[in-house]
Amino acid sequence: MSAPNIEAVKEYLLGLQDAICDALEQADGGGKFIEDAWQREAGGGGRTRVLNNGSIIEKGGVNFSHVFGDKLPGSATAHRPELAGRSFQAMGVSLVIHPHNPYIPTSHANVRFFIAEKEGEEPVWWFGGGFDLTPYYGNDEDCKFWHETAKEACDPFGEDIYPRFKEWCDEYFYLKHRDEPRGVGGLFFDDLNELGFEKSFALMQSIGNAYTKAYLPIIEKNKDKEYGERQRDFQLHRRGRYVEFNLVFDRGTLFGLQSGGRTESILMSLPPEVRWGYDWKPEDGTEEAVLYERYLKPRNWLEV
């Protein structure tokens, strides 16, 4: 198995952050990302980029981080006890885009690399990541296009990759306490090393590069749809589910907080406005009810 090329991964991730920010600024047509470079006292750092109050994007964050240290946090060793006592490096690009218009879904993407080393032993490394879509008002064409683009990114690496990563995404982005998915899924993978370094790295790159191909046409298609207070209220209600998932279940959030990461960068994924109403439920026969009845259910979106 070929040895990991850490510098090549870092170079790719920095370039990916640049490319995604440039593409999102062009799609927005008004907003600009501001950059906040930071250092981690325990080792490493990153650059956080945030776009606030753009023409289309209400809040978008695209973060690069590269952190390292002598000891892993509990969130990393809980299911991998063999990592205890190893030094580590973790690097990745993570992003969340919250548009103004409720007819444009929120989107999330993340690609990352992790390596743990100990003198005299082989390094333990893997890739992870994916992207997923969280609509407020479902659209079959958008869901199908999103998943078709995801499948195209996976197909060169084996016909089993997309269905496996798609199912993994459905299972991962699930709010157990609500008994509902976060959205309509996409791709999720972790602990990927069985393909060897070069092929695993290539698959991670293919997925990272596919995010803007999947999302930008959905922005363009829906950006001019009219909406009112009702749609905005529903969007803020559903954003509450997004917050719940990120703070309760998300591995990246837990790893970042437990490893002494930069809190502002870790929590950049949270929306600028959100609402919780006690035991709120949509009325039967409404657009809002359709989200629960049709879209918040795992399905084969390639065949809708």
Cα angle for residues 198, 200, 201 (degrees, 5° grid): 65
Any binding-site annotation on 94?
A: yes
Pairing mode of beta strands 57-69, 34-39: unpaired
The reply to whether 66 belongs to the active site is: no
Any binding-site annotation on 112?
A: yes
Pairing mode of beta strands 34-39, 44-52: antiparallel
Any binding-site annotation on 259?
A: no
Q: Which residue in the list 66, 79, 100, 108 is annotated as catalytic?
A: 108
Dihedrals phi, psi of 275, to nearest 5 degrees: -145, 140
Any binding-site annotation on 139?
A: no
Distance of alpha carbon 135 from alpha carbon 275, whole angstroms: 16
Distance of alpha carbon 259 from alpha carbon 162, whole angstroms: 31
Q: How many C-beta atoms lie closer than 10 Å to residue 66's C-beta?
A: 20
Distance of alpha carbon 135 from alpha carbon 146, whole angstroms: 12
Local structure of 56: helix, strand or coil:
coil
Any binding-site annotation on 177?
A: yes
Any binding-site annotation on 299?
A: no
Any binding-site annotation on 261?
A: yes
Assign residue 125 a region (left: φ > 0; alpha: ψ between -120 and 50; beta: otherwise). Answer: beta
Any binding-site annotation on 111?
A: yes
* 8 A C-beta contact, residue 87 and residue 73: no
Any binding-site annotation on 100?
A: no
Distance of alpha carbon 147 from alpha carbon 163, whole angstroms: 10
Any binding-site annotation on 31?
A: no
Residue ranges at the known binding site: 94, 98, 108, 110-112, 147, 177, 260-262
Residue ranges at the known binding site for substrate: 94, 110-112, 260-262
Q: Tell me which residues are annotated as active site.
A: 108
Residue ranges at the known binding site for a divalent metal cation: 98, 108, 147, 177
